[in-house]
Structure 1
Amino acid sequence: MNALIIEDEKLVALELVASIAQVAPDLQIIATLPSVKTALRWFAENAEPDLIFADVQLADGVSFSIFEQFQLSGPIIFTTAYNEYAIQAFKVNGVDYLLKPVDRDELKRAISRAKLLVNAKANVALDVQKLLEALNSSTSARSSYKEHFLGNARNSWVPIRITDIAYFMRDQLNFMVTNANERYILDYETLDQIETLLNPTQFYRANRHCIVNIDAVQQVKGMANFKLNVKLKAPNHQFDIEISRDKAPSFKKWLEK
């Protein structure tokens, strides 16, 4: 069984190849393509692979545009750094997605599912079309993002506009911190719950303990081992956020959106 990777971040692509070798050593990677343009040329000149791994956001566009031009019958495992609300609609029969950094257990399950489809000679072209339709309707999905959060301050509730929130953090309890460095307790059990309510173009899950607003970022500095240190605007400049080596490429791409 052979597979194709469409990924514009070289380091991420290499790590995906290594992870595939660990969880599915029988899977042969026949090519790694860095852009929509090179993928279109490749599909015009080569036979369809058994399985495709495709990043959603590429430097020259979204990978869905590739599948609008080529009607493919094999399964596609999409990878993305953006946990968009509309992604829930993408997980249709025969098509899977993985959030970066890719978890190896999830990768193994996705590949096993793809193998079942290939062995059954299942045609998932219709599923890809559903995914494309879900992408086109993502504008309506964005209306579900929260515009206000209620913060607990001295036994009273304070409504805070989403644009006034600099970051969310986990410190025993979940807090939101405003652009004015005001801190409020939130009535949510996990940051995962909060993350699903946020527009991913505006907020980024930096690590297990923090979700940051792009408008609160002052500057980003490189650290050892390819990690990143995020400095926030005053008066939140004393709070530094660390981005791991694995998430650094997706964070840079998020900043450029």
Structure 2
Amino acid sequence: MRVVIIEDEQYTAEYLQELLLKAAPETEVTRLLFSVAAAVDYFKTNLPPDLIFCDIQLTDGPSFEIFRQVKLEVPVVFITAYEQYALQAFKANGIDYILKPFKNDDIAGAINKYNQLHSAVVKKVLNYGHYLGLPSVATGAGQKSSSSILVKYRDSIKPIKISDVAFFQTENKIVQLTTLNHQKYLLNKTLEDVEMLCGDGFYRVNRQVLLNRDAIEEVLQGYARKLVIKLKIKEAPELLVNKTKISDFLSWLSA
């Protein structure tokens, strides 16, 4: 679970981060933000987290201004010393309202509420997908490769056909897929997990990228006896194949 903390007191922000990691050790706090302006700038240029913990009164104004300036469909846990903002909080994607001074049980309870809401959404979407006849996704070793993979999209889960994925890329332990239509989604899986799902149509170019054969436009001879892979999609990363993998890569490409 990826979390952003918005709190203008650094000590409080760091204490909250400590309690979060204690309550849910798998949590990754991706950013501490200390003002409305900093939060607006961050959310305009970065992928949204799974959950936001947010103080209401910041040094440059109420945090509700963040959600007026940036469209975010992310659940928010509001933390404040004031009781009178509860109604506004729940109108701004609020799922919990914690009064300061907070303690470990408060944070653990908020995480538990988020997990319950998230599980309910996933269950609802998966059941709906079952009735629609959507393909299922393999979940472990020894199972057949899947035709679709489930991704988080706003407050729901949606299936993406693996054949529509141009490549998967991991950075800072976060895996993102990019489709042939230039859409991007985050995955709650490792690249190794994804590789097990994709089958022979995908190739692990390096530690960061798993590539779909159908996304390749051409392969060029590069410097130092490396190959350069040009993709069909715009703004794609430049992919290099080291000389030690060239034979294996070309064998896969021609299969």
TM over 0.5: no
TM-score (norm 1): 0.44
* Structure with larger Rg: 2
Larger RCO of the pair (alpha carbons < 8 Å, separation 6+): 1
TM-score (norm 2): 0.44
